[in-house]
Structure 1
Amino acid sequence: MISLSPDAFNVAEALKTASPQSVGDVAALLALAASSAVVFYKPWARPGPYRHLFFEKPQLKNGDSQGRHKKSRNIATLLEESNKDAVIFWGSQSGTAEALAARLARDCRLRFGLQAIAADLSDYDADTIASIPASKPVVFIISTFGEGDPPDNAADLWKYLQSKTRQPLANLQYAALGLGNSNYQHYNRVIDVVTTALDSAGARMILPLTKADDAEGSTEAQFVQWKDSVLQALKDKLKLEEREPVYLPGLRVDRDESLDIIDLHMGAPAQKRVASTSPAVSLPIHNAHELFHNSTRNCIHMDFDLSEVPGMSYKTGDHLAVWPVNPDDEVDRLLRVLGLTSSRSIPLSIKSLDSTIKVPVPTPTTPEVLFRHYLEICAVVPRDTIEALAQFAPSPSVKSFLDTLVKDKAKHAEFSEANYLTFGRLLELSIKLQGMPEDGAWAAASYPHEL
């Protein structure tokens, strides 16, 4: 999910006030953005190893565990205790599968009131999947990377499904989407292995397996088509009634000027890591040049400067990644149309309104840092994100314009290509084409405090 909760593309939450032209009004769009578009999601940096000592309760040192609540790693228990109707597991190396899972969960809630959660596979014990009742459908969205390897957070599921201690899965009713690239030898191998293992254990697919191919640049289109099929299958299986989409808050964004800059996340790359990996380190690029280019691919040579990290050395197999930063013009455009230019550096505290939903961006932070470093604001805006955004349109004419893009696939594709339709450009053009003043136009509407 700013379809930014991609599902980022859910624009998110009002700050403290709901008066027109306020920072609070605009934060709603922040959460819609933070939920629906495709976010630069990376789990955030860990605190220092001794930070817990500042919060340690003396009674806990003496063996008293009362009062300490630990989230259950039993997914069946969590679904029951939190009154959830379905779970969408994601396995992702870059964040794409996670964003798609969040979008599907959002649409389940918007269209049917179905309480579905997007769940990180590493947060739950794989063997507890066998305890999920048949009345609660399961969805898997898993990518393949490297030499046909599973993402780090799907490693436990991978091992469990191939173990001899695997339990029968006769109650499991599921759908699956694989993310891969057919230019590579082991195209979508992970989802093939996972679904074969599930089926051999007695699980039953509720619709055929779909594989999205990034080589064709069609992952988004294939996901949307598959998502519609999943929603229809859930509607039929659970006898659901479709309703007019109603936005349901998932995040709360508050303005907190008591925070100092040292308390804020300011854009530094961070990554949750598994035990077998070393921490990610930010390095400057010393030199870069293109080695060759043809019609299908190009190859760039890059030299990274290790001089500031003397203890580090590169070994074959190490992962190198480019940490993207959104350009100034797109950041400034979004701040301007949301009426946040003068509030770009105000500290924001973001909280989840549902204990089963993680905040998809680092917090506390600022609007400018969110747009520059943590949210995907430059990707083409999908139709389902525009549909969610239309509920916040500042005028009937703007809503009508957005609805046209949602309903007409060809027009959406044509308009997106002709206008390089980023999130900020969409907001800007939706106002400009109606002859309305642009600055702060989307902040003028009345938004709820919780998004």
Structure 2
Amino acid sequence: MTTDLKSSPLSANQQARLAELLDGIGEGQLFWLAGFLAGKCSGDSANAPVSATPELTVLFGSQTGNAEELAQRLAARALERGVSAKAIDMADYKPRQLKNEQYLAVLASTHGEGDPPDNALDLHEFLHGKKAPKLGGLRYSVLSLGDSSYEHFCKTGQDFDSKLAALGATALAERVDCDVDYEDQAEDWINRVLETIASEAGASQPAANSPIAAAQRPISTFSRKNPYPATILTNQLLSGRGSDKEVRHIELSLEDSGLVYKPGDAVGVYPENNPALVNNLLSALGFDGEQRVLVEESDIPLREALAFYREITLLTPPLMKHWADRVESDALKALVADRAEMMAWTEGRDLLDLVQAWPIAGLEPQTLVDLLRKLPPRLYSISSSQTAVEDEVHITVAAVRYASHGRNREGVASVWLSERMSEGAKLRVYIDPNTKFALPDDSKPVIMIGPGTGVAPFRAFLQEREEREAEGENWLFFGDRRFRSDFLYQSEWLKWRRDGLLTRLDVAFSRDQAEKRYVQHCLKENSAEVWAWLQRGASLYVCGDADKMAPDVHQALLDIASEQGGLNPEQAEDYLRQLNRDKRYQRDVY
């Protein structure tokens, strides 16, 4: 920044000190300073509200889109309260800008084994590296999103919080760690952040007709908080005869809902717990289920609360700790005190197991309901393009069934959809946008890697590209257990290949030969062609299992970059990281 001080009334020493102050100062800080000086000139006291508009930067790191949606909400609400705010994807943010920020809000989810989401990796590494600046002038707050049933609950947000504090930044609102039911906590955090900024900076006037605020106005009145009752049009078995899996293709009507979606988005579905499990739980507790309880200010029977509104199939660490506080059992207290042992015991068990092992004497129905977390919606990748199917949305669901600790268990939503929801029934649904999994320009080639039901969004991709007559080439890698029974949407892929829309189709069926074969093997077998596509600007998409498939595919891509591109391991990792920054390596893994 250059400033003409030749005609300044300041002394040489004052000019030098002013120049030092202005060196490297950010635009937001400059506006604040201008307002402060204007206030001083008008005779205001040093403690009077500053007239300059305070600036809030909202950074989000999100794998599925929840943190992004909340970041946009915070930015829009800030504008309404006279705070200049912008929501920025962490992947698009220049970390060195941190030292110039006035107010900072960080919203971050946790991915995998406590890892940052893909778009947060660079910022996370920068803050934990040697080049991280001192941030003594920064005021910040962190909202963490996670799932308390996982061991590393909200670790990414906790990492950001502790590191920002270590670099000298001061919290304007205490960090909040949100579970899967995050809406109320997030709303409270947003209000506290904005109230603190308004108190400190004096912001009060709304930004009139702000384009950012306008952009956030919902198209539909239906949302996560107000789901739409969608009618099931089709509930069709997709897997073939002889398959040891049950996969279903489900089509829902969105007619007159106003809901819109794009390829890559997900549908949130509010499920119902298995009535048999609810009955067994009530019997173990000695309740008849007709006792009245309060759930979100509604007076309903306990049976209904356990069926529709409370999580009973997962045991989270907070529940285990609350339960141990109410049970006279040294064994349970010792189990809860050892996190590793507790996580091992809860794996594959549910609330019925806990009640049978350690019943709480005199437990009241309302106390039970208050101890349990809300039954969260389940997200399913959308397997249709709205351009092609209009007032419908399609999902692909694999029923989860397994035996554990002497009992048969099941996925809450998947078996409910497969066994108990027939055509004509209604589901409570909403659209969960995912800007981190979106098609590139029509002219760009895409490589899609989706084993099992991970192939769902790629059906949407091809429907969309067919409708738009996109010129970009399309290459699909699909894998499952057996060719004859598990080649999901086989006829559609083959038709698209005949028509030329699907340029290449490579498949791997793990149980059709003695040696297991997966999609990562297909990638390695086509190393030269995959590398050639990437050099032509192809975008990579991976969807499906996060625990084994996604890491194995990532390693195969690293190997291809090393072998075909002549890169060493560090360079290969940097190459994939750059693809991610350029939105050319996108993952929807779970």
User: What TM-score comes out, normalization by structure 1 length?
Assistant: 0.42
- Structure whose alpha-carbon radius of gyration is higher: 2
Q: Greater RCO between the two (CA within 8 Å, min separation 6)?
A: 1
User: What TM-score comes out, normalization by structure 2 length?
Assistant: 0.33
